[in-house]
């Protein structure tokens, strides 16, 4: 287990953008808040219900921007992580160590599906704290900004949404990882071109695969599970609006009852197994 987490930390250390991007985003948040520090004075003068809505919308918009940035970051990380080690021949060094291909691949998938969502969550929380702190110092009647939204429930919502979104999008994550393991060059283009060709052929020949719809359902823009009071959103829409409702860990069972989740996990398992096999037998040296 210690070896596995060491491999995961190695990924963060080697892929500098995984820790540089959060720092850059936090710096931009600070600069933006100092540039618009007078706006919070108007929010502080508004009625409590209006102030709460404005603060929630502001924090939700900030969260959605960070989520979008990291969505592209995790995509580029996955298509590069296995391809890069073949390109620079560092795979020969790692094969000389007592580390199996299964451990190496699962560590990279763990970074994309678990560690990066946690990094996203930490970035969102810190950016919102900085926003509220800087805006609270901008004028009178702004100290109430911290109480306009239930921050503890809000942050729990965001963490749960991020982890559930990673679980739902796992087929896409493992597809990009698989393309990184076998593509000789430009794995990003291969990862996009192959589904596009299949979708075009499906539409022309009317085969009935409907791959386009299946992929669209997994893109983390936002989708709803459940009905009535038990419904909640995942992806971008969930991150943007999660200040307006409260999730419980029991809500996970709403997602776990979806047949599409288990089918997606089956597909993800297939792509992961194919990635491990490809890394083991593919040799560009």
State how far the Cα of 179 lies from the Cα of 80, in Å rounded to an integer. 9
- Highest mean pLDDT range out of 55-59, 112-116, 231-235, 241-245? 112-116
Residue 44: pLDDT band (50, 70, 90) is low
133-150 pLDDT, tens per residue? 887 776 555 556 777 788
Of residues 193, 186, 173, the one with CA closest to residue 75: 173
148-191 pLDDT, tens per residue? 788 888 898 899 899 989 999 999 999 999 999 988 888 889 88
Q: How many domains does the chain have?
A: 1
State how far the Cα of 22 lies from the Cα of 149, in Å rounded to an integer. 24
Residue 227: pLDDT band (50, 70, 90) is low
How far out from the chain centre does Cα 154 lie?
17
Cβ 83 vs Cβ 183: under 8 Å: yes
Q: Which whole number is the average pLDDT over 234-260?
A: 79
Residue 94: pLDDT band (50, 70, 90) is low
First to last CA, the chain: 30
State how far the Cα of 14 lies from the Cα of 90, in Å rounded to an integer. 12
- pLDDT of residue 208 exceeding 80, the answer is no
Question: Residue 54 sits in which domain range?
Answer: 2-281
Of residues 38, 66, 10, 95, the one with CA closest to residue 240: 66
Q: Which whole number is the average pLDDT over 41-61?
A: 66
Which residues, 6+ apart, have CB-to-CB distance to 155 below 8 Å?
121, 124, 125
């Amino acid at each position: 287990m210690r070896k596995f987490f060491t491999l995961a930390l190695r990924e963060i250390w080697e892929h500098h953008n995984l820790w540089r991007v959060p720092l850059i985003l936090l710096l931009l948040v600070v600069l933006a808040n100092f540039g618009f520090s007078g706006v919070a004075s108007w929010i502080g003068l508004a009625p409590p219900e209006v102030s709460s809505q404005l603060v929630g919308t502001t924090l939700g918009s900030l969260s959605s921007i960070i989520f979008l940035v990291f969505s592209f970051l995790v995509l580029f990380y996955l298509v590069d992580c296995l391809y890069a080690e073949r390109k620079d021949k560092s795979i020969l060094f790692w094969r000389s160590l007592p580390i199996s291909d299964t451990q190496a691949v699962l560590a990279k998938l763990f970074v994309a599906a678990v560690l990066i969502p946690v990094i996203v969550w930490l970035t969102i929380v810190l950016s919102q704290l900085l926003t509220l702190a800087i805006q609270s110092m901008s004028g009178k009647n702004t100290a109430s900004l911290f109480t306009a939204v239930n921050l503890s429930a809000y942050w729990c919502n965001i963490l749960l949404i991020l982890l559930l979104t990673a679980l739902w999008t796992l087929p896409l994550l493992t597809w990009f990882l698989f393309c990184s393991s076998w593509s000789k060059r430009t794995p990003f283009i291969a990862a996009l071109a192959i589904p596009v060709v299949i979708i075009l052929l499906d539409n022309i020949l009317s085969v009935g695969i409907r791959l386009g719809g299946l992929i669209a359902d997994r893109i983390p823009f936002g989708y709803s599970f459940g009905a009535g009071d038990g419904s909640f959103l995942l992806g971008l829409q969930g991150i943007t609006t999660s200040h307006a409702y409260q999730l419980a860990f029991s809500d996970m069972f709403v997602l776990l009852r979806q047949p599409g989740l288990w089918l997606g996990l089956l597909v993800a398992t297939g792509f992961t197994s194919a990635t491990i096999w490809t890394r083991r037998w593919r040799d560009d040296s």
